[in-house]
Amino acid sequence: MKLTLYYKLLIFHIVLAVGVFLYKPLALLYFLFITAFFSYKIIRASKNYKTFYVLLACAYIVGIEVFLRMNNGTVLYEASKYLVILFITLGLFTNGFSNQSLVYVLYILFLIPGIFVAVAEMGFETDIRRAIAFNLSGPVCLGISAVFCYKRNITFNQIKIILLALLLPLISMAIYLVLYTPNLQEVVTSTGSNFDTSGGFGPNQVATVLGIGIFVLATRFFMSRELFSHRIIDLLILSLLAFRALVTFSRGGVFTAIIMILCFIGLYYLKVNLKTKFRIKFSLILFLTIAVLTWLISSIQTGGFIDKRYANQDAAGREKADITTGRTDLIAFEFQEFLDNPFLGIGVGKVKEERLNETGIVAASHNEMTRILAEHGMFGVIAFLILLVTPLAYRMKNRNNIFFFSFYLFWLLTINHSAMRIAAPAFIYALCLLNITYEKPPLHRKPVISK
């Protein structure tokens, strides 16, 4: 069989995972390479293809962010977000933006008062820079990405390639995780989130990005008209990513992926013709079979601990009192801070400090909604309402983006269990603002999408 570009890239990313596992400094070298490579491609791209290359570069950076972080492969911890901002800015200089996207500039401006409040409260100390970088790099990344993507046209084939760029480095990470912990039974001893099965990194973030990969592979599988053998390969890769996401014992990313897939299948099924509907039904049977087998393998490999985790039980099989693993306490604390400081909030980065002072517990926010309220007050309320309502208002007028609800729900669900610690929710939120054009326009009023 002649290897297509997809399989060549697949092999390359498997080799990359092995290389980084054997020689960790390779991760930093690769980061420097892709920074230079994508910068060159964006700068040299013609105006007609500038949007495509900007989004392609950003998607790849978002996909590889966690893999590089777990291997100390970036010059700064938030470097991936800064790169996305840089690439988007390069695109804005060349291709401009819609005047209506200025609502997202307003969103960014509403975050500025929280900086002054933080400086006034904390003083000009070294930790103020870190607090602002950690808490505002994600929101700023979202705002700038949204300005660029709002009502911007892109073809259906191009968005599929962009999603593939997002997927490929996640395959590298999955292979790396297999090499890092080949024997799960040695490290799985409880039902708590497991750093060993997550490459020594945060299970929440690992499961979140693996969930994106699961979604992308699921969309490829259901939309594909390729040979059955090729579709099976995608399904097996999906099973690998799903298995590694499950054994992180972090549930947020897995549940989010499932909801995204169900949303996509439902919307896709309603829009395609009868022949494609029949193919979807057959594909769904095969997909569910692989899903069940993946769960059974996960259960066996973890000695049944994964079953207890998703049943909200501890290692002894007793039901846990708090299914949110302490997140409700964090949310309640942040909401109370908002009630105590409703106008300007307590300042950027102050939630973590206040929590330490009042409870003695060091814990970063897991919820972007309550964090933005606590730290920005009423300005945060308005800023969040802009994020919440603008895409929905746009969707009412433009229904061409088949991925809209999946992307929108990914952002909304992810910021509720993992805040904006990684660039993924910011960038994927922006993708739901794109106007996707289809190469073969439908003959009927209701669009019919096929691959």
Strands 153-155 and 435-437: parallel
Task: Note whether 134 and 78 are within 8 A (CB).
Answer: yes
pLDDT tens, position by position, 266-303: 999 998 888 889 999 999 999 999 999 999 999 999 99
pLDDT score, position 97: 82
SS3 sequence of 256-316: HHHHHHHHHHHHHHHHCCHHHHHHHHHHHHHHHHHHHHHHHHHHHHCCCHHHHHHCCECCC
Q: What pLDDT does residue 296 have? A: 97
The CA-CA-CA angle for residues 378, 409, 142, to 5°, reads: 55
Q: Please indicate, yes or no, whether the overall pTM of this predicted structure exceeds 0.75.
A: yes
Is the distance from CB of 268 to CB of 426 less than 8 angstroms? no
- pLDDT given at position 441: 47
CA 253/CA 245 separation, integer angstroms = 8
**Residue 398's pLDDT is what?**
86
The pLDDT assigned to 361 comes to 67
Please report, for residues 141, 290, 330, the alpha-carbon distance to residue 376 in angstroms, rounded to integers and kept in the order given.
17, 45, 17
- For 307, other C-beta atoms within 10 Å of its C-beta total 15
Q: For 129, what's the count of Cα atoms within 13 Å in the CB-facing half-sphere?
A: 4
Looking at residue 120, its pLDDT comes to: 75
Q: Which residues of the chain have pLDDT under 50?
A: 1, 124-126, 441-445, 447-451
Task: Write the single-letter amino acid at 311.
Answer: A
Report pLDDT for 190.
Answer: 87
